[in-house]
Amino acid sequence: MLEKKFENSQKILDLFPVSDKKIELSYTGEQISSDGGLLLLREVENQTGLINGISSCITDIRDLRYVDHSITELITQRIFQIEAGYEDCNDLQRFA
């Protein structure tokens, strides 16, 4: 069901195109909201394609007649929900 697909490469990301402005990232956990990192996470995902890489390792054997969401959508939802602080999935229906 899982295929091993790894690539060792270092990527430099161009985050938020802001001309003539220095962007500095730091973590101060006590000073951010639980949703504060989602925009940054989305930007990093858009540039790296990490979630697509992860989902391409999983063979979807579900019956397509009953599938509403792709493996990529499910993994994206789970990663973003963990990042937002909803690890236990109890708030998931509220966002659907």
pTM of the complete model = 0.59
Rounded Cα–Cα distance for residues 66 and 52 (Å):
22
**pLDDT value at residue 92:** 60
Angle at 73 between CA 2 and CA 32, to 5 degrees: 110
Per-residue pLDDT of the chain (96 residues; tens, 9 = 90+): 445 555 555 555 666 666 677 666 665 555 556 566 788 888 889 889 999 999 999 999 999 999 999 999 999 988 888 887 777 766 666 545
Which has the closest alpha carbon to 76: 34, 46, 35? 46
Rounded Cα–Cα distance for residues 63 and 23 (Å):
46
**pLDDT value at residue 1:** 47
- Domain limits of the chain? 33-95
Rounded Cα–Cα distance for residues 23 and 18 (Å):
8
**pLDDT value at residue 26:** 61
Rounded Cα–Cα distance for residues 8 and 62 (Å):
31
